[in-house]
Amino acid sequence: MFKFPEIVEIPLAQGIDKIMDWLLVYLDGFFDFIGMIILKVVMAFENLFLFLPWFVIILLVGLAGWKLIRSLKTGILFMILMLIIGTFGYWELSMRTLALVISSVVFALLIGLPMGIQMARSDRTERILKPILDGMQTMPSFVYLIPALMFFGMGKVPAMFATIIYAVPPVIRLTNVGIRTVDVEAVEAAKAFGATPRQILFDVQLPLAKPSIMVGINQTTMMALAMVVIGSMIGAKGLGMEVLLAISRIEVGRGFEAGISIVFLAIIIDRITHSFSESREKDSK
């Protein structure tokens, strides 16, 4: 009596499995093409970061902290944090992790910004995408590894694919919010002067929505960094792999060094990306 009736059952799992089987059979070439593009982009960033001397990257990071955040102390702090990562022996792995994060963010922005713009321009699109984005953000991150493995196997590509899907919702949401909260009078004034919808978007709405969009990019970047660590479970080499090995071997020190290196990278990336959302306000003062 207190047991849920077994006759009432929704075969959702079976339906999803059939869809995945169909995709693997009929769209195999498409996923191979997507995987090739993803791999080329991530390898381009990885080769660049590993080609540049370590001291050049440290100087560039320090310069970014100084010029973008407008604080010499912050620039020096960033350089110290990067030096500490190097002293742990994780310089190469941190560069691989950084390449995965930047590549994932590039693809997330290519997908998310147009979707956010379309979402802001169409109430129907917003009603459709909102529950989908809610589901994407509340879905456990490990779930994204399953289809990524099925489509692309093991390695960097499935890790990036899962990271892109996991990290793209914030930039879509905040692009939509930023454009929708632009002053209506500014848009009406542009229309009164004969501006086309394209001119209104690029010359009025996007510039005024820039702080909100940059916050979305910041959140997407941080989520990408978190997911890249989880992606080490399916073969993405980087700092996440070191954490995973430390867990499997119960090496506390090794895990702490890899973990604190990820924290240092997160601090640097967060402050640099967050500075873009603050630059407009500082310039206007």
Q: Which domain holds residue 215?
A: 13-51+88-284
Please check whether residue 67 lies inside any domain of the structure: no
Quote the CA–CA distance of 223 and 160 in Å, as a whole number.
12
Give 117-148 pLDDT, tens digit per residue: 999 888 898 899 999 988 888 888 788 888 88
CATH number at residue 234: 1.10.3720.10
Number of domains into which the chain is organized: 1
Please check whether residue 59 lies inside any domain of the structure: no
Q: How confident is the model at residue 110 (pLDDT cuts 50, 70, 90)?
A: very high
DSSP state of 237: -
3-state SS, residue 122: coil
Please give the torsion angle defined by the CA atoms of residues 70, 74, 76 and 78, in that order, rounded to the nearest 10 degrees: -120
Please check whether residue 129 lies inside any domain of the structure: yes
Quote the CA–CA distance of 87 and 148 in Å, as a whole number.
34
Please check whether residue 103 lies inside any domain of the structure: yes
Quote the CA–CA distance of 31 and 151 in Å, as a whole number.
7
Residue 99 neighbours by CB distance under 10 Å = 24
Please check whether residue 158 lies inside any domain of the structure: yes
The residue type at 52: L
Give 182-240 pLDDT, tens digit per residue: 888 888 888 888 888 888 888 888 888 888 898 889 899 888 888 877 887 777 788 88
Please check whether residue 71 lies inside any domain of the structure: no
The token pair that represents 196 in the structure block? 């086309």
Q: How confident is the model at residue 279 (pLDDT cuts 50, 70, 90)?
A: low
**pLDDT(282) > 80:** no
Please check whether residue 248 lies inside any domain of the structure: yes
Farthest CA pair distance, the chain: 71
